[in-house]
Homo-oligomer: A and B are copies of this chain.
Amino acid sequence: MARWEPNAQTRLQQAAMELFRERGFDGTSVAEIAERAGLTERTFFRHFADKREVLFVGGDWVTTDLRAGIADAPADATPLEVAEAAFSRLADAFEERREFSRTRHAVIDANPELMERERRKLALLADSVADGLRERGVDETRARLASEVGMAVFRTAYTRWATSSDGRTARAYLREAFAQAKAL
């Protein structure tokens, strides 16, 4: 028999999600999360850099998805179209984890500290998209602008999707948002 129960990290994440929904982010301590997962506080911090991070790790696939979206975009696409292609992949990924993504959004949305972290992560994604654009030969300023604007559009669409009650897909919301943005 193994010395410890397996999947410590996953157990911590599940325990955290439960407790955050029950008592809110500030209302639950790291010690409580660890206890519910059958571990100690110290072990929690071996898996996550800080308390918030428990909701954000495991998102490496996101960057990969974005890059894949950029690579697949047609060679003659404008920078903004490339950004749209990248973020469309993201929308699809959220759609695949629909229920999880939506409850995760609700938890984050209820706490300013978590919203900050979410924005920071999204900013890193925007950086990643900007990098991809530069590699395509887009100049620095345009790359930054296209990625930032694309991210802004994505965020409005994502928020609307996560809080919507109709069954429309994330990609549908995103397409609509980009169309409206271009019309501005």
Contacts and interface: CB of A to CB of B under 8 A. Distances in A.
Interface stretch (A25-33, A56-64, A99-107, A147-155): A147-155
Contact of A119 (B123, B144, B145): B123
A18 interface: no
Given A117-B116, A120-B115, A78 B184 contact: yes
A90 B80 CA distance: 26
Interface in A166-184: 177, 180-181, 184
A108 interface: no
Given A119-B123, A120-B119, A123-B119, A156 B177 contact: no
Interface in A135-149: 141-142, 144-146, 148-149
A112 interface: yes
A69 interface: no
A112 B119 contact: no
B155 A148 contact: yes
B116 A180 contact: no
Contacts of A148: 152-153, 155-156
Given A151-B152, A152-B148, A156-B148, A177 B120 contact: no
A178 B78 CA distance: 17
Interface of A: 78-80, 112, 115-117, 119-120, 123, 141-142, 144-146, 148-149, 151-153, 155-156, 160, 177, 180-181, 184
